[in-house]
Structure 1
Amino acid sequence: MQSLDTNSPRYVPGYDGVAKLLHWLVVLLIAAQFVIGWTMPDIHKGTVPDGLIAWHLGVGAALVAVVVLRIVWRVTHRPAPAPVSPFFSAVSHITHGLLYLALVIVPVLGWANASSRGWTVKLFGVLPYPALSPVGSSVGHAMGDIHGILAWVLLVLIGLHVAGALFHRLVLKDGVLQRMLP
């Protein structure tokens, strides 16, 4: 890979190593969640959280923790702004805001649904998260349906994010994609 000349007008300062690590860890966890979610059995009344369902809960718990860390890091460690037009800056801010929102809401809705089924969500299978809804809650059960729908919205937002990164790399050739690459 060709190194970027930091004196070049095309040079765009990148994110720090922690931000990159958290970004790519979220990517990995989301990819795992979609694979597990698509292959796990349907959840019905009386379903036991074992096998792929247990994996989905565990990866979801890890995702919640990493997303919280990522948000805290992002708020406390602002990267240098990318040198893009006001239009692309606005589109980027809106897309990133919606991505962060979906990365919080989708797992929390799944967590609330698990709570309503009496399932304990645990980080690394050890640290239990508090229940977000009472066992048997119809609202908690409904949150499971919303969780599934918003997961598709999250997938669309991820597609837009990837398309934007590729647009910067292949069309604008402005170095913006390189900001998040290792």
Structure 2
Amino acid sequence: MVENHSQKFVYSPVARGLHWLIAGLILAQFIIGWTMPDVHRDTLPTGEIAWHLSVGAAIVAAMVIRLIWRMTHTPDPAKLSPQLMFASKATHFLLYILLLAVPLAGWANASARGWMGKLLGMVPYPALASKGSPAGMALGDVHSVLAWVLLAGRFQG
């Protein structure tokens, strides 16, 4: 007899809502990031760049809410083999790491540039790096590379 491993986790409406909110924010972020001007030493955080900073902060906020929800409301377990269960949990863990690392690296880079962003254009958030910080400046490249890794991972398997 063949065991059926196709049953999936059953996520709550809140978890599904957060999933689609974050997916929509990430889609918007890629569109904004693709259309905004290149960032150079003298670039000011206006226009699309200001939107990019704000949407990035919204992604971090939504991810924090999503992680809190996930820790306090676990989905019903799926009937998966131990190997598939491990792969599923490892994939989710790595995805959560990327979904936090990408905007946090961008936030640190913005801080190193002296840019003060605002969540949804209203709530200022603190700097993650001091102005001119070499590490903060380098995180701009990390931000870009990890964003492409996140996008490429979306189209795998």
**Which residue, out of 121, 136, 139, partners 2:135?**
139
TM-superposed CA distance for 1:13, in Å, is: 6.0
Call closer, same or farther: CA 1:38–1:19 in 2, change over 3 Å: same
TM-superposed CA distance for 1:12, in Å, is: 5.3
Give 1:82's aligned amino acid: A
1:93 is the counterpart of 2:122: no
Mapped to 2, the partners of 1:134 and 1:82 lie a distance apart of 45
Q: Which residue of 2 aligns with 1:153?
A: 149
1:30 is the counterpart of 2:17: no
Deviations 1:125-182 (CA, angstroms, capped at 9, x unpaired): 111111000111111110001100111111123223xx4xxxxxxxxxxxxxxxxxxx
Larger Rg, first or second structure (1 or 2) = 1
Structure 2 unaligned regions, length at least 5: 1-5
* Identity between Structure 1 and Structure 2 (%): 55
Q: Which residue of 1 aligns with 2:42?
A: 46
Q: Which residue of 2 aligns with 1:126?
A: 122
Q: Which residue of 1 aligns with 2:3?
A: none
Mapped to 2, the partners of 1:13 and 1:152 lie a distance apart of 28
Mapped to 1, the partners of 2:7 and 2:147 lie a distance apart of 35
Structure 1 unaligned regions, length at least 5: 1-9, 164-182
1:55 is the counterpart of 2:70: no
State TM-score, norm by structure 2.
Answer: 0.91
State TM-score, norm by structure 1.
Answer: 0.79
**Which residue, out of 90, 100, 105, partners 1:109?**
105
Give 1:88's aligned amino acid: L
**RMSD over aligned Cα atoms:** 1.4
Mapped to 1, the partners of 2:82 and 2:88 lie a distance apart of 10
Call closer, same or farther: CA 1:141–1:93 in 2, change over 3 Å: same
Mapped to 2, the partners of 1:136 and 1:85 lie a distance apart of 50
TM-superposed CA distance for 1:11, in Å, is: 6.6
Aligned residues: 152
Call closer, same or farther: CA 1:13–1:97 in 2, change over 3 Å: closer
